[in-house]
Amino acid sequence: MIRVMNASGCLDALVAPAVAHGLDVFVSKTVTPEPRVGNAPVRIAETGVGMLNSIGLANPGIERFVREHLPALGELDCPLWVSVGGFSADDYAECCETLDGESGVETIELNVSCPNVTAPDEAATEIVAAARQVTSKPLYAKLSPALPDVAAVAVAAQEAGANGLSLTNTLRGMALDPATLRPRLSTATGGLSGPALRPVALAAVYACAAATNLPIVGMGGISTGEDALAFLAAGASDVALGTVLFADPYAPRRVREELASATSSRGFTRPQDAIGSAHGDVTVAKRRQRIAAESALLLPELATASTAL
């Protein structure tokens, strides 16, 4: 089964539980070791090609998240991934270690690529390695589409212990107020998501699918079943919806229906049969389909095993 999830930060499941129930997986907003108020307003701006945001990782901190938010999220009866962030490898490790014994957390997503805060000093691979030392839960590395060689970083993340990839995060962009010609965001620049990001994200998925043996959650401007099918063809195992949820909270059901139609119109029996087809090599396609099938079976098993350690 192709899982449809939300991109981290694009849905508050406790405010909109009905929307979360329409997902196969809910991904939390990024949590850091200490509480953060985030950046000053204005933090969101619409553009003609997508949305800019500069939230700045506002969150309650890992201790309060585990104490107050995690029990409430557990009541949603939806598999939960928790996104973690920080400003050093130790920050990521601290969050992962705290979450390691939480049975309600299936997977941890390492947000190593937020464009709205100072980047961690260490490379993504060092962050993955530090996290791997303190948890046996599945780890998905969320990479930036702005990396000079995203496939090389993905390979290094795999070698450091990542179990999967989330591709991709937003791209840094800017919008000006037409009247004042001043930046519309308080931080001047922010992360661009939506339709303009889709070709860039698709290229990252394609490159990393060819270079690694990791399952990939494809994201970046997906708003229709045709978009989702393109990401599967590029090599993604699952898809995540982001900006579209602000305009159409119930998009997950629609995208699933459209994906089924788009799949059958191309002669595929199931959406998963289209995985990797863009590579034009049956060997690559079969490898990506096998990876997707194995990850769907392995993730719950890994999550259960980590709580028994």
Domain 4-307 classified CATH 1.10.3720.10?
no
Q: Give the per-residue pLDDT at 115.
A: 73
Mean pLDDT of the chain: 93
Q: Give the per-residue pLDDT at 308.
A: 42
Q: Give the per-residue pLDDT at 113.
A: 86
| Whether residue 118 has pLDDT greater than 80 | no
pTM: 0.94
Comparing 31-40, 52-61, 280-289, the range with the smallest average pLDDT is 280-289
Q: Give the per-residue pLDDT at 303.
A: 47
| Whether residue 274 has pLDDT greater than 60 | yes
Q: Give the per-residue pLDDT at 299.
A: 55
At residue 128 the predicted structure's pLDDT band, cuts being 50, 70 and 90, is very high
pLDDT (tens digit, 9 = 90+) per residue, 4-52?
Answer: 999 999 999 999 999 999 999 999 999 999 999 999 999 999 999 999 9
Q: Where are the domains of the chain?
A: 4-307
Enzyme catalytic residues: 114
Backbone dihedral region for residue 141 (phi beyond 0: left; psi -120 to 50: alpha; all else: beta): beta
Q: Give the per-residue pLDDT at 295.
A: 84
